[in-house]
Amino acid sequence: MSLETIISYGLTRPDENLTALVLMGGGARTAYQAGVLQAVARIVGPHREAEKEPRFPFKILVGTSAGALNACYLASRASEGLAAFKQLAGFWATLRSAQVYQLNVPGWIRSSRIAAALFLSRQVRKQQAFLNDTPLVDTLRQMPCEVAAVMPYRSVDVLAIAPSQSLDALAQAHAGELPAATYNALAGLGALGARGSPSGAALASYLQFEPGFIKALMALGERDAHARKDELMAFFGSAPSGEMLPKVP
């Protein structure tokens, strides 16, 4: 099979309308996704009572970084229907920082990546990232209409759910749960406390795989999803209008 054949097959439009789930990365912050999906199961489930075991609602799973791990977990349990979402939340509830990473402070300080971060801190404060891909996004948006018209893509319906409150502030409130080595390292970087830098607070939220923070994230995800219950019901119960892509950061 040639590469051209593989690409052509991948670009073939499906005969049925598909619903996809897109999960962003974010370290410990992605526990929020588990909360949102638990709420989705509770909202969608009662409207599928005719099914003996309500089927898994997504045909396509896509994820980045920790979001990709969530997607893989769900894919491995998709045959269990909506119960997969409860199992994902249960998995997150058992996680601890020690199961995810080990922080060797002396080695970390010597790391060239940390040195690079210090040199690039001005860029991070300005662009909110080491690498700013905004120019690429702008270029893609300027694609000529006639070129876009012949490409094998089409617009899709999107329902995006994002945190309704600052996850950085939430992480600060639970900072005391961090392992001592992680807490001391973050405190030394100015990431914790009332005077902590915004970028430092964000770093803390990525590393906080501890029960209190994880539980708070999932609870927030559930609340945010339930606040948009009507939209979710319409999204999953609406007449087909192309592929539908719920997107959870």
pLDDT (tens digit per residue) in 122-164: 444 444 444 555 666 676 667 777 776 777 777 778 899 999 9
pLDDT at 239: 33
- For 157-178, give the DSSP string: EEEE---SS-HHHHHHHTGGGS
Least reliable range by pLDDT among 56-70, 85-99, 167-181, 195-209: 195-209
CA distance 104 to 118: 18
How far the first Cα of the chain sits from its last, in Å, is 36
- 3-class DSSP assignment, residue 129: coil
Least reliable range by pLDDT among 62-66, 179-183, 229-233: 179-183
Q: Residue 200 — very low, low, confident or very high, per pLDDT cuts 50/70/90?
A: low
Encode pLDDT of 90-105 as tens digits.
Answer: 999 999 998 998 776 5
Which residues fall within 8 angstroms of residue 240, CB to CB, at 6 or more apart?
A: 17
pTM of the model: 0.75
Identify residue 17 by its one-letter amino acid code. N
For the chain, give the percent of residues with pLDDT over 70: 65
Encode pLDDT of 203-234 as tens digits.
Answer: 889 999 999 999 999 999 999 999 999 999 98
Selected residue with higher pLDDT from 244 and 137: 137
